[in-house]
Chain A
Amino acid sequence: MSVEAPEIIPIPEPEEESIAAAARRKLSSPWASGLVILITILWTIPTFGLLVTSLRPKDQAQSSGWWTAFTDPVFTLTNYAEVLTGGATIPGGITPYFFNSFAIALPAAIFPLVIATMAAYALAWIPFKGATTIFFFIFALQVIPLQMSLLPLLQMFNLGWSIGPIPIFPDLNQAGSNQSIFYGTYVPLWIAHTMFALPLAIFLLHNFVRQLPRELFEAARVDGASHFLIFRKLVLPLTVPAIASFAIFQFLWVWNDLLVALTFAGGTPDVAPITAYLANIKGTYGAQLHLITAGAFIAIVVPLIVFFSLQRFFVRGLLAGSVKG
């Protein structure tokens, strides 16, 4: 292949005497440290305020600032209990949506990566005419924003597509009702997220798969291994680090998504994720600060755990995937 796929952003090897080290040696400045610490505090306060507010009793949370909690400390977990299980204010609670988010994000993080790895292997290591063109075409698809796809896709799931009399996607409406068999299931969400993730995932994994040593594949082919065997026994195991980085990134992306969720899930507790629920109660119960903050913290705690425990992978995925459209 003659395509020189651009690496997204160079990930540096730590150097002995980089500009960083040189600067540190010469200019290690208390001013710089002070400024960074100040910005760090500024950047952390908003999230910290959310956490503190979510732990204060209803009356305090609604009538005084969270910073007063340090002079007059009253903390409680009742907000969390109420948000999780529901109550007079928010019937049903957040729990169903929390689990929906998992049920949406796990498959939606795995499907595109498996399919993209397969496509990346085919484009990189099965020699055939047009591979280069197809790769470039898929790469170019990144320019299509999500917004271009929403309406037609929704129409496809609900009504099917046909060109004249030739159906290209079946009408999945159940007989006698006006609802698609997909209605109230995660299927449209899984499919939509998978579709939208593919151009970037194929592009990045292609770059990775292409760099695997050629001798490996040649030796396996000489031994008579089929492409399927090579893929399962060689490509998949060797690609795991790359897949893991992008899977984490894609998981967070899906978990935090609102637009796709609102379009394909509606707001029902059956399938809607936690972001859709939060956006909803922010509008309806915005004054119930103690509940909104507890709900928001429940929603962000999963990405935060993923972020802090897997930060290395996350940074790698981000540096590679910074052009996600």
Chain B
Amino acid sequence: MEELTAGLTKVGTGVAAVAIVLGLLLLIFFIGARAKGRLQTPMAIVVFLGPAILLLAYGLIVPAFRTTAGSFQDAGGNDWVGLANYGWIFTAPGNSTFLINTVLWLIIAPVLSTALGLTLALLLDRMRRESISKSLIFMPMAISFVGAGIIWGLIYEYRDPSKQQVGLLSQVVMWLGIEDPPNWILWQPFNNFLLMIIMIWIQVGFAMVVLSAAIKAIPSDVVEAAELDGATGYRLFSKVTIPMIRGTLIVVLTTIMIAVLKIFDIVRTMTNGNFGTQVVANEMYAQAFVAFDVGRGSALAVVLFLAVIPLIVYNVVQLRKERTIR
């Protein structure tokens, strides 16, 4: 009972904060509306745009510069060290693990998610009742990476083969006749793929929903024309469907790539980067907030930033192209 009261007080704090902020905004509106004549427009601009600009300046713009500067400084942020932190990232022994893993993640997880999502989108189109399947495959998207980590941790759970199995994967493998399944999470380098499966499990629903929407948006006259010309099945798919949704396919692929590049929660929850599963984003967290090496942490953040830019630019270019075609 006590806990419930304490809990409701907390939620009350949140609600109160919302009320206070909205009240403040109303008050500012009230004052702003009193501006007369030539002051009217400047006043409105300041009131409407000011909060967003301030928050963006403090939250993203200044920090981006400070992190960039910090990446050229030592662990405590006291002395300039030039490119030493970047040199450390790319040359220190042992660091190749997280660099190679990140590249593997970046290729495998997005490609498999998109391919499976596309397959499902095409298959669903041929079904009469698609909504339940769609909902269930899409559902993992609502689950946190931490929750997903625990769900899959249960599947990868290891027990001595002589005992009763608790993890589903070991049990299935044993039913298939392999008597001595490995301890999955420690099984290098394949444990990386087991972690990627969690990401794929989450992202397939996203790819499916977006691609399914794109397929449904293909104009019917295009399909009919192709069918009149005798295109069916695979030819219709490869000559009409795929070219028509090419832009969306690329958007889905790059969007998942951006998410994968910053993948942190899954690795942290499952292995904390141990057993050869480290990736850049988790190494960044470990350097910045566990080892308190501000320089290296910042440099890793900058590396992520530089890697994300081409993906987002490509993504946006595709979107604009798609829009002009339509």
A interface footprint on B152-170 (CB within 8 Å = 1, 0 otherwise) = 1111010000011111100
Cross-chain contact A256 with B10 (CB below 8 angstroms): no
What is the CA–CA distance of A232 and B130 in the complex, to the nearest angstrom?
41
What is the CA–CA distance of A24 and B320 in the complex, to the nearest angstrom?
31
Q: In the complex, how many residues of chain A place their beta carbon closer than 8 angstroms to a beta carbon of chain B? A: 140
Minimum C-beta distance from A272 to chain B (A): 12
Report which B residues bind A (CB closer than 8 A): 3-4, 6-8, 10-11, 13-15, 17-18, 21-22, 25, 29-30, 32-33, 40-41, 44-45, 47-49, 51-53, 55-56, 58-64, 66-67, 70, 116, 120, 122-128, 130, 132-133, 135-147, 149-155, 157, 163-168, 171, 201, 204-206, 209-210, 213-220, 222-224, 227, 232-233, 236, 240-241, 248, 251-252, 255, 258, 261-262, 264-265, 268-269, 272, 281, 284-285, 288-289, 294, 297-298, 300-302, 304-305, 308-309, 312-313, 315-316, 319-320, 322-323, 326
Residue of A at shortest CB range from B268?
A279
With A102-B10, A151-B67, A151-B297 known to touch, is A115 a contact of B52 (CB < 8 Å)? yes
Cross-chain contact B146 with A279 (CB below 8 angstroms): yes
With A45-B168, A148-B302 known to touch, is A228 a contact of B44 (CB < 8 Å)? yes
Cross-chain contact B17 with A22 (CB below 8 angstroms): no
Residue of A at shortest CB range from B29?
A228
Minimum C-beta distance from A29 to chain B (A): 6
With A85-B3, A118-B49, A151-B288 known to touch, is A275 a contact of B146 (CB < 8 Å)? yes
| Contact among B55, B132, B138 with A194 in the assembled complex (CB-CB below 8 Å) | B55
Cross-chain contact B22 with A293 (CB below 8 angstroms): no
The contact sample of 16 A-B pairs, CB cut-off 8 A, is A9-B251, A15-B219, A16-B220, A17-B220, A19-B125, A49-B168, A99-B7, A107-B14, A126-B44, A145-B261, A194-B59, A198-B56, A279-B146, A299-B147, A318-B206, A319-B210
Cross-chain contact B48 with A231 (CB below 8 angstroms): yes
Majority DSSP secondary structure for residues of A touching B: helix
Cross-chain contact A303 with B18 (CB below 8 angstroms): no
Cross-chain contact B64 with A195 (CB below 8 angstroms): no
Majority DSSP secondary structure for residues of B touching A: helix
| Contact among A6, A20, A50, A229 with B33 in the assembled complex (CB-CB below 8 Å) | A229
Minimum C-beta distance from A325 to chain B (A): 6
With A103-B10, A121-B48, A143-B309 known to touch, is A36 a contact of B214 (CB < 8 Å)? no
Total A-B pairs, Cβ < 8 A: 413
Residues of A within 8 A of B281 (CB): 147
| Contact among B206, B223, B285 with A259 in the assembled complex (CB-CB below 8 Å) | B285
Residues of B within 8 A of A300 (CB): 142-144, 147
With A62-B166, A65-B167, A152-B66 known to touch, is A256 a contact of B143 (CB < 8 Å)? yes
